[in-house]
Structures are given as structure tokens and as C-alpha cells.
Homo-oligomer: A and B are copies of this chain.
Amino acid sequence: MDLLLRDVRPLGAAALDLLVRAGRIAALGPRLAAVPGVPQEQGGGALLLPGLVEAHTHLDKTNWGLPWYRNEVGPRLEDRIANERRWRAETGHDAGAQSLRLARAFLAQGTTRLRTHVDIDTDAGLRHLHAVLATRETLRELMEIQVVAFPQSGLLARPGTAELLDEALKLGADVLGGLDPQAIDGDAVASLDLLFGLAARHGKPLDIHLHESGEEGARTLDAILDRTETLGMQGRVAISHCFCLGDVAPARRAALLERMARLRMSVITTGSASRPVPPLQECVAAGVLVAAGNDGIRDTWTPYGRPDMLERAMLVGLRNNLRRDDEIALAFDAVTHAGARVCGCADYGLEVGCRADLVLVQAQNVAEAVVARPARKLVVAGGRIVARGGAQQAAHPASTNYTYP
């Protein structure tokens, strides 16, 4: 967990050296003196990035590395939810092995902080939760995994789910999840009262999937904002997807963003190319933090996605038509610093004292790293070298019995 990394360019700045002691950044500067017993690594002038942040994925349900899942699923949200429940029951999907496999693949591509929503419903109970908590434990020294207890089949819609979420939070889930209080649960007021009550009782932050569009979604967002304010949850609520911000009238959007900024409510986006999305530049200008995530990767919902947060930043950039270097920096921020703030990650960044989560890529600057998504030359997690050239290194617990697919 000690390392002297030489000749690297932090975010494109002039080349310098970086000293890691006990898993943290201990010094940064030109030509640092060698330290006896501390191994040295030549950066060769590569671009140095902080560990990447995946703010929204579903590790538990991925088919990553498994035989191809032939997708013949119907178009509606409800079809996809029902199909997945059936698939889960029929295949005996191993959420433990699969979440570990995908988390390791993320790590090899430089993601060191990750928030994952874990399915909890009255069919599968807490099976996926136990599986992902085990993965979190296995990778604890290398990766910050935040587990969201997520009612994928609805909360009010399936009685018994609230009790399971309560149990999940007792078992150590980090965040309470929600899902379309109006569109899925059919009663935003009752659903949100139940959800916020649970969060308050456990003192946990909230991360709510909001696919509801237009004015329906905006009204739900109003209700979420009301409860955030009333219950003093400022800075503790994130809205995932938040499609409604992409298709309400501009004045309505501006008013919502103004209130979100005031209550320090953040947005987590995939940069979906086929749905209205929260406009990144407008959110940032209003003071609303935006993080980015893949959502599901290679699962029954979608075959797309790759555990590469530089590629996700590119997709967010394409969706928001970010072409100038200073615009692309905003997409990069969503998978690094802003992402870490949205998820409440501690000790994040490239400053002295931060956790030594470091990514080296061959690129001239941040904008090129986003559009070209070069191979990860080196990934350091908590001060340990975990991957070289996109391939995991054998000498750490995360790589046992694992081959990158």
C-alpha cells in the first residue's frame, strides 16, 4: 500500500511524482525523493485520473461473462420487471458470483467507488442483498461499494416489501432505494410517506429511480422535494434517471432545479440516448450535482453497457452534445468528483490525504480520455496496484480465480 508513482500528469497538468503511503496520497511534486522500501512505478508521462465513480448500476442481476441472454422481452416497463422476476426464479441466477465478477471488471477499468441497487421483493426476499453484501465485503479494501436496498417490483404494489427493506437496512444496506411512486405504486403520497419514514427511522440516504416523465414525474418530484425539506433530508436524496427534467417545460424545469439546488438534491443519469434526460449543463448551471452510471449491464433489461466509466462519460457527452473541451470536462466530472460528492464518498480526489485510487491512461488530456477511452495502463486502488493494461493483477484478493472476460 506504499508506492512512488513517477512522471504522471494529474488531469493533464505538468508531469510530477506522487507518493502513496499506507494507501493514501502522501505527497505530490516534481522529482520526489525515493523512499527506502517503497516500490517505484514509472508513469511515462501518462495522464493521471482519480479512481472513477459508478453512481448507478445493478451488479446483482448481470449476466456479464455468462452465455448470451437472448432478449425477447416486451416493450413496457412492467413487462421487463415481470420477465426478470420469472428469469430469476427459473435460472437460479447466482447474484453473489455475478456481482463479484462485474465489480472486479469495473475495478480493472479504474472504478474504485460504486453504488449498486440490489433487488428486494417478496419473491426473492433478501437473497440478492446477502449476495452483494458478501461482494462488498470481499472487495472492501479495494473498492467502496454502496449497496442500495431497491424495491424493483414496487413498494406499495407488493405488500411485505417495506418489511424486507427495513430488514435490509438493518443488515447493512447503505442507502434506501425507491421506484416510481406514482407510475408503479399508483399513489405517490402514500408511497413516499412510507419510503421517507423508513429512511428517517434508519438515518439512511435515499436514491429514488424516477422514470416518470413530464408533468407526472414533476409532480412526484415536487412531493419528494416537499418531504426532503420537511424531514430535514437536505443533501441526502438523489434522483436516478429523473427523465421528467428532460421533458417538462423550461420554466417548470428551472423552478424544479432551483429548489433541488437549494435542498442539495442531486441527479444520477445514464445519459440515455432514447429518453429525455436531465440536461447536464442546465443542472450544473443551477447548482445541482450530476453523477453518472451505466444502469444495468448485460442483463435481462438490456444487453448494452460496459464496466468502463470513461465510456459512460462519453455517452453522457454525446447525449448532451458536449463538444468543446470545457463541456466534456462536465461529463468527466460526473464520473469523478461530482459522482463522488453525489454518493457521499469520503477522501476522494488527487489531493494529499485522499485515498490512493489512481488511474493512468495514455491520453493527452481529459477530453481525449473521455472520447478515446484508452486502455487503463495502471489502476491503483487504496494504494495497491490492481490492474495493468486493462488486465487484473494476480497479487490481490480481488483477482482470485478470476479471468477478465
A: residues with CB less than 8 A from B are 67-68, 70-73, 271-275, 298, 301-306, 314-315, 317-321, 323-326, 328, 364-365, 367-368, 371-372
Contacts and interface: CB of A to CB of B under 8 A. Distances in A.
B303 A367 contact: yes
Contact of A315 (B73, B302, B318): B318
B324 A71 contact: yes
A301 B321 CA distance: 11
B73 A324 contact: yes
B323 A71 contact: yes
Contacts of A371: 298, 303-305
A272, A303, A364 pick with most chain B CB within 10 angstroms? A303
Contacts of A273: 271, 273, 315, 318-319, 321
Contact of A323 (B67, B303, B314, B323): B303
A315 B271 CA distance: 12
B71 A325 contact: yes
A67 B303 contact: no
A105 to B, nearest CB: 12
Nearest to A365: B68
Given A272-B318, A273-B315, A304-B318, 13 more contacts: A68-B364, A68-B367, A71-B324, A72-B324, A72-B326, A271-B273, A273-B318, A275-B321, A303-B328, A303-B367, A304-B371, A305-B371, A315-B318
B274 A301 contact: no
A314, A324, A365 pick with most chain B CB within 10 angstroms? A324
Nearest to A68: B364
A321 B73 CA distance: 13
Given A271-B273, A303-B323, A368 B318 contact: no
A108 to B, nearest CB: 16
Nearest to A322: B274
B323 A368 contact: no
B274 A321 contact: yes
A274 B368 CA distance: 20
